[in-house]
Amino acid sequence: MVRVALVTCADGPDVAEDRDLPVLVRALNEAGVEASAEVWDDAGVDWARFDLAVIRSTWDYSWRAAEFTAWAERCGALTRLANPADVVRWNTDKRYLADLAAAGAPVVETRYLAPGDAVELPDGHEFVVKPASGAGARFAARYTPDEHDTAVRHVRRLHDDGFTAMVQPYVRAIDSGGERALQFFGGTLLHASRKGPVLAPGTPYDQRKTAHPGLTDWTPTADELAVAQAALAAVPGAPELLYARVDLVDGDDGRPRVMELELVEPNLFLWLHPESLPVVVERITEAAGRRRPSAGAAPR
């Protein structure tokens, strides 16, 4: 019997509930896989006993990114890790959007302000400030040109905490068309969802947000599929990805743009798409049955 760890994080006031986790554990066990939920920073977990570790809801990683990526390297040296540690390291820093853009994938225009950089902000349109390592709209906020002073304080707070800040135009089409999440599993489209706008005007950056408001089923367009596939093709090294989520919004020209490429711990929304559960179970089982790396192998 193959053993699979579904990797999560410890409960906490700033951590959302993973509604899919117990359902997925149960479904895998019913399919003949010895599956369990394991906390990534639990020093008592023997990762080498598993044939596969699937990162699922490590939703505290964004404020512990260096610690988390170091764990991924260690875990990936002991067992097969999905997604691989080099993908985790690349994808935990949203400067990857610059890599996607350089490869020709359409992305939301983004500027990066590292600690020590001069804080220059747009003055002709609404804009968003958020950390380059972040999840669930944590420490993100939307500003008008009249709110520069508040936005500067936001950027300086991120710098004080050691984060690079991202500055993006506020994509106005989100207010009407929302944001679409295309989920891929085992290299093919699994399902898609649409959610409403997350950042309301005037909401402080340090206020907790609802990460997926008004989530509904969605059928992606041909343009959306093409953009998502272009983004996935631009991941450095063309790695094997067990799962991926591509978040898209419409630009001012009405064409889809990549807002985020989530290769670390995307919410799968299986509670909204229960028909996808058997597919996820099958593909995790297949991945777990592949030959695992030898003990002591170099981190991937």
Please, where are the H alpha helices in 138-270? 148-160, 174-177, 222-233
**DSSP annotation of 254:** S
pLDDT of residue 211: 78
Which amino acid type is present at position 33?
V
Pairwise CA distance, residues 121 & 124, whole Å: 10
Of the candidates 108, 107, 104, 68, the one whose C-alpha atom is nearest the C-alpha of residue 88 is 68
pLDDT of res. 277: 98
Beta bridge partners of 216: 194
Distance, CA of 95 to CA of 111 (rounded, Å):
9
**Per-residue pLDDT at 23:** 98
* pLDDT given at position 209: 74
Beta strands in the chain (DSSP E): 3-8, 34-39, 52-57, 80-82, 111-113, 127-131, 141-143, 165-169, 179-185, 188-195, 216-217, 243-250, 256-262
Considering Cα of 282, then 283, then 285, then 289, what sign does the dihedral take? positive
Q: Which stretches in the chain have pLDDT values below 70?
A: 135-137, 291-300
